[in-house]
Amino acid sequence: MIWDRDRDLAESASQEILTSRQGREGDLRHSAVDVTDAEAVMSAFAMAVQDLGCIDIMVNNAGIAGPTMPSWEYPLDDWRAVIDVDLNGVYYCARAALPHMRERNYGRMVNMASIAGKEGNADACAYSAAKAGVIALTKSLAKETADKDIAVNCITPAAARTRILDQVSPSFIDSMFSKIPRGRFLSLPEAAGMVAWMVSEENSFTTGAVFDLSGGRATY
């Protein structure tokens, strides 16, 4: 089930995935959900459980970049919006899912952080702070659920060519690109491949980990 606050985007993403499966069986649904609304998240999760029977996997991937400017000039409304989507949204989704996973003694959760959460990007204070919060939140959730067959991990990718780049300036994109030793952007299949393993049954031991996808920018 795909969630997006834009129902049309959720539907188009679902159709694109179904088309790419080339006739293979599968059941993919979508729903309009704003992850900054805690009550809406709880309601949507309950509906997903009702529709699908159970939830084994949750990937928290919603994010916005916010403006690029020095922290002392950063608009407060933009600060709140970025924190609300990029950090609070992850917490609200985890808060809805983890009791269900604990009851079933099984679950896999991946939270999308960023290299910015490790290093802090200049002119992106809200995004960097939110993603650092996602890293710490992931570690807390993992410790709270380690007594069950639940894995909660996060990824710290460098820049990838997604729509989030539309929200930042060309000079900021050039700056991020220049810091990647691989000399290229992260590809979406590379990210998907790592997530696919992290949410698999085979990942039965690692939890609370930060998986680097930075192309060599962060090796710690």
Report whether 150 contacts 107 (CB < 8 A): yes
Residues 93-106 have pLDDT tens digits of 999 999 999 999 99
pLDDT of residue 160: 72
**pLDDT tens figures, 86-96:** 999 999 999 99
pLDDT digits (tens, 9 = 90+) for 3-18: 999 999 889 888 888 8
Q: Which two tokens stand for residue 55?
A: 């939830």
Has residue 44 been placed in a domain? no
Catalytic residues: 127
Residues 6+ apart with CB under 8 A from 65: 82, 124, 127, 164, 165, 167, 168
Three-class secondary structure of residue 191 per DSSP: helix
User: Measured at the alpha carbon of residue 62, what is the angle toward residues 59 and 63, in degrees to the nearest 5?
Assistant: 135
- Nearest Cα residue to 60 out of 162, 138, 159, 124: 138
Amino acid 15: pLDDT: 86
**Tens digit of each residue's pLDDT (9 = 90 or more) over 107-143:** 999 999 999 999 999 999 999 999 999 999 999 999 9
Give the residue numbers spanning the domain of 82: 56-213
Is residue 115 one of the residues assigned to a domain?
A: yes
CATH number of the domain enclosing 72: 3.40.50.720
Q: What 3-state class would DSSP assign to 198? A: helix
pLDDT score recorded for residue 22:
65
**Structure tokens given for 77:** 């409304």
Instruction: Confirm whether 45 is domain-assigned.
Output: no
**In total, how many domains does the chain have?**
1
Q: What is the pLDDT of residues 36-79, one digit of tens each?
A: 999 999 999 999 999 999 999 999 999 999 999 999 999 999 99
Predicted TM-score (pTM) of this structure: 0.90
Query: How confident is the model at residue 34, as a pLDDT?
Result: 96
User: Considering the domain boundaries, does residue 98 fall inside one?
Assistant: yes
Does the residue 79 lie in any domain?
A: yes
> Residue 73: inside a domain, yes or no?
yes
Interatomic CA distance for residues 208 and 140, integer angstroms: 8
Residue 25: band (very low, low, confident or very high) from pLDDT cuts 50, 70, 90: low
pLDDT for residue 20 is more than 90: no
The per-residue pLDDT for range 171-196, each reduced to its tens digit, is 777 777 778 888 888 888 999 999 99
Q: Output the average pLDDT for the chain.
A: 91
Domain membership of residue 43 (yes or no) is no
Contact 116, 131 (CB under 8 A): yes
Q: Identify whether 40 is part of a domain.
A: no
Residue 18 is inside which H or E element, if any?
helix 7-20
